[in-house]
Amino acid sequence: MNRPASSPVPKTPGGWARRVLAHWSGLVVVGLLIGAGASLLEWLGNPPNMGLCIACFERDIAGAVGLHRFAPAQYLRPEIFGILLGAFAAALLVREYRPCGGSAPLARFALGFFAMVGVLVFMGCPWRLLLRLGGGDGTALAGLAGLVAGVAGGGVCFRRGYTLGRPEAAPMLMGLVAPVTAVLMLALAATGFSFEPGGAIFDSAKGPGAMHAPFVAALGAGLVLGVLLQRSRFCTVGPFRKATGGRDVRLLGGVAAVIVGAMAVNLVVGQFQPGMAGMPMAHSDHLWNFLAMALTGLAFCLAGGCPGRQLVLCAEGHTDAAVFILGSIVGAGVAHAWLFAATPDAITDGSLTVGGPGLYGKVAVAVGLAFCLALGLTARAGE
C-alpha cells in the first residue's frame, strides 16, 4: 500500500505537491511543521510532550465512547477526526480515493491491538516518542532504540517474504464508513452531547484527557495536517525501515525534523524541560521502554505504516487500515481494563518513585512480541 518515495508520481491534480512534499527535503519541511504544530497545540492546552500523539488520542477517543473507564483519558480528540477528513478531502481532490481491503483483516486487527499495548506500556506512539525527545525527555531514548530494533526486525521479515496479501477493490460505501464516522464524532464533540448525565460521551475532569487545545484550533490543525500527510506520505516508521535495510537514510531527515521543530517551539514558549526521570506522563523503566517500543515498531512495520500513515490510508479508502485502527481502539480499552498500561514516574516530597508496567503489562508485551514475530516469519504469499 505504500509507494516508495522514489516511484514516479502520476500526473494528477495536485501532483506537483506530491513531487515536492514526498521528496526528502519536502519531508523535512513537513516534519518541522508537525513538530512545531504539536508543540503549539501543547502550548494551547494539550498535554505536556503530547501535543499530537496519534495513538494516545485514539486511546482518549476509546475512553470517550466508553470502551474503557480510565477517567483521566476520555475525550473526543478533534485532531484525529481532522486528520482523517483532511486526508479524505485531499484524496478525493487528486483522485486517490480508491476503496479496497480484504487482506488478512484479523491479522491486522491483532497488529493494531498489540501496537496499542506497546504504546500504553511505553506511554506514547512513535509520534509522541519524537515529541518527548523534542521536549527534553531523555527517558524516550530507550524507546527510540526499541523502535529502531522493532522496525529492523520487521524489515527482516519483509526481506524473508512477509506479506498479508494484496487488497482487492471494495464498494465505494465501505471506504466512506470512516469519514462519515469522523463527521458524527465531531458533531458529538462540538455539541458536548451525552446520552445521559454522567454517561457516554465521557469527558475527563482531570488528567491528560482534560487537557486540550480549543476545539477550533485542534480541528484546524488536524485538517491541515491531514492534507500534508496525504500529499507527502509522511511516516515515522517507514524511514527507519529503509535506513536499517541499507537503502535510503535521507528520509530520516523528516523524522529528525519533528524533534527539531518541537524543540524550537518548546524553547521559545518555555516548555523545554530536560531530564531523565520524572518527565510528564512518562516512566524511567528503560528496559520496558525499549521492549514496549520494539513491539510497537514491529507491529506498525508489519501493518505497513505508523499511526498517522494508518489514518491516511483509512481516509483513502483502505479498509485494512480501518481494521488496524479499530484493533488499536479496542486494544486501548482492553489495556486499561486489564491493567496493561504503565504508570508514570511520580515525585512525592522530592522523592522519585519509578513508574512502568506491572506484571500484566509485561506479559502482554511479551505475548505481543511473540505473536508479531510469529506472524512476520510465517505469513508469506501462497501460505
Q: pLDDT by residue (tens digit) across 45-64? A: 999 999 999 999 999 999 99
Give yes or no for a contact between 54 and 311, defined as CB atoms under 8 angstroms apart: yes
Q: What would the pLDDT profile of 103-117 be if each residue is shown by its tens digit?
A: 999 999 999 999 999
Binned at pLDDT 50, 70 and 90, residue 203 comes out as very high
Grade residue 349 by pLDDT with cuts at 50, 70 and 90.
Answer: confident
- pLDDT interval class at 267 (50, 70, 90): very high
Which grid coordinates belong to 77? Answer: 480528540
pLDDT digits 0-9 by tens, 217-247: 999 999 999 999 999 999 999 999 999 887 7
Confidence of residue 13 (pLDDT cuts 50, 70, 90): low
Distance CA 118, CA 123 (A): 8
The DSSP result for 296-335, as a single string, is HHHHHHHHTS-HHHHHHHHHTTBHHHHHHHHHHHHHHHHH
The confidence score (pLDDT) of residue 97 equals 95
Distance, CA of 290 to CA of 259 (rounded, Å): 19
pTM: 0.93
Q: What pLDDT, on a 0 to 100 scale, did the predictor assign at position 15?
A: 67
How would residue 23 be classed by pLDDT, with cut points 50, 70 and 90? Answer: confident
Return the residue matching grid coordinates 476520555: 74
Q: Which residues contact 213 (CB under 8 A, 6 or more apart)?
A: 41, 44, 45, 46, 221
Given the C-alpha cell 489495556, which residue does it identify?
A: 335
| Planar angle of CA 72, 361, 130, nearest 5 degrees | 65
Name the phi and psi angles at 356, rounded to 5: 130, -175
pLDDT above 90 (res 198):
no
Percentage of the chain with pLDDT > 90? 85
pLDDT (average), residues 322-342? 97
Q: Is the pLDDT reported for residue 9 higher than 70?
A: no
pLDDT at 11: 57
- Looking at residue 16, what is its pLDDT? 64
Q: Is a pLDDT exceeding 90 seen at residue 24?
A: no
Please tell me the predicted confidence (pLDDT) of residue 251: 87
The pLDDT value given to residue 7: 43
Which grid cell sits at 294? 520494539
pLDDT value for 383? 57
Q: Are strands 346-348 and 351-353 parallel, antiparallel or unpaired?
A: antiparallel
pLDDT of residue 57: 97
Assess contact for 320 and 102: CB atoms under 8 A: yes
pLDDT at residue 196 tops 90: no
- End-to-end alpha carbon distance in the chain: 20
Least confident span in 10-14, 41-45, 98-102, 179-183: 10-14
Mean pLDDT of 205-210: 94
Mean pLDDT calculated for residue range 208-215:
96
Residue with cell 527507519: 240
**Cell triple for 19:** 513531487
The residue ranges of DSSP E strands in the chain, in sequence order, are 100-101, 168-169, 346-348, 351-353
What's residue 2's pLDDT? 46
Q: Quote the DSSP letter at residue 275.
A: B
Residue 3 has pLDDT above 70, yes or no: no
CA–CA separation, 225 and 21 (whole Å): 13
- CA pseudo-torsion sign 166, 235, 81, 340: positive
Residue 54 near residue 268 (C-beta atoms within 8 A): no
Cα separation, 373 vs 261, in Å, equals 34
Average pLDDT score over the chain:
93
State the pLDDT at residue 248: 80
* Helices 307-315, 319-337: inter-axial angle, 10-degree rounding: 140
* pLDDT computed for residue 342 by the predictor: 97
A 10 A CB-CB count for 205 gives: 10
Beta bridge partners of 356: 343
Q: What is the reported pLDDT for 378?
A: 96
